[in-house]
Amino acid sequence: MDGILNINKPAGKTSFGTVAMVKRLTGERHAGHAGTLDPEATGVLPVCLGKGTRVVEFMMEAHKVYRADIELGVSTDTFDGEGKITARGDATLITGEMLETTLQNFRGDIRQVPPMYSALKYQGQPLYNLARAGTTVERESRPVTIYRLALVDWQNPLVTLEIECSKGTYIRSLAHDLGERLGCGAYMKNLVRTGYGVFGIDKAISLMQLEEAVQQGNIALYLHPIDGVLGHLPAVTIDAAGEEAIKTGSPPGMGTGDVPEPSSKYCRAYSTEGRFLAILHFSAADNIWRPKKVFV
């Protein structure tokens, strides 16, 4: 079973636990997800099956879209509703105009400090283990990009935002930092990932729907093709001789001028019949395209 499922992750289940459930339901031993969601967050979680697991690394650069409910006037140690309250502030004087002005600071290229309650490692230890032990360590800020940040609703003290962002963005940190900027504190009350690259929540399926599809034998209706997430890579058609070379892991005999966008580091290779063959990597040292991931 090779492909990608667009799963609507339920609240209260980890991303790892969701993948484990998919493996149990489908019987597919090889499965993995792209883009971890916190246990209480819901929404789009791409789960790759079989050979689909080999393109996870190429999915990480995809834009993510979230809808977040942020409550002003309360701060927590985890930056979300699962943590302990660390401070309370007065949000009664915050206006929509103040919000819009403050949100401008979070658009475009920004730097974020990851929360202590995260899976990032410090000296080999996940930060959340240190946090649970009462230890706080300095974390370096990291560059992220907020492509779109829209104020969807404002019912004091609840703010609803829609965020389109790059990989590595912590929406919990954005909520916390927004509260700091406003001077009243804030935490992320609810989070839904509504988009991940080509996948949208409108077409995501629940674990119950997946189970029904398996029982009815029509899971193929929900299995997206592997190359469906690689549209950002240029494509090239390979002749019969090149296809045979790719099957053995050998270069198909292509140079720079054979790919529509030679400046790209990778490209998709297809047979003359349109079958997806491989992801090729350009070797600048010898000016040739070599197989990176072979799927035939």
* C-alpha span between 47 and 156 (Å, rounded): 37
Question: In the CATH scheme, what architecture does the domain 233-294 have?
Answer: Roll (2.30)
**Model pLDDT for residues 102-156, shown as the tens digit of each residue:** 999 999 999 998 887 777 777 777 777 777 777 788 788 899 999 999 999 999 9
The pLDDT score that the predictor gives to residue 50 is: 96
Phi, psi of 136 (to 5 degrees): -115, 130
Q: What would the mean pLDDT of 195-207 be, rounded to a whole number?
A: 97
Q: Which CATH fold topology does 3-62+198-228 show?
A: Pseudouridine synthase (3.30.2350)
- Alpha carbon separation from 88 to 180, 183, 184, 290 (Å, rounded): 12, 10, 7, 57
Q: Which of 38, 80, 177, 227 is catalytic?
A: 38
How would you classify the pairing of strands 199-200 and 223-224?
unpaired
Per cent of the chain over pLDDT 70 is 98
pLDDT of residue 53 exceeding 70, the answer is: yes
Q: Say yes or no to pLDDT of 262 above 60.
A: no
Average per-residue pLDDT for the chain: 92
CB 261 within 8 A of CB 234: yes
Give per-residue pLDDT as tens, 22-52.
999 999 999 999 988 988 999 999 999 999 9
In what helix (H) or strand (E) does residue 143 lie, and over which residues does it extend? strand 142-155
- pTM metric for this prediction: 0.92
Q: Is 38 a known active-site residue?
A: yes
In CATH terms, 71-186 corresponds, of 1.10.10.10, 1.10.10.60, 3.30.2350.10, 3.40.50.1370, to 3.30.2350.10
Lowest average pLDDT, out of 66-75, 199-208, 262-271, goes to 262-271
For the chain, which residues make up each domain, given as ranges? Answer: 3-62+198-228, 71-186, 233-294
3-62+198-228 and 233-294 share one CATH topology? Answer: no
Distance CA 89, CA 103 (A): 19
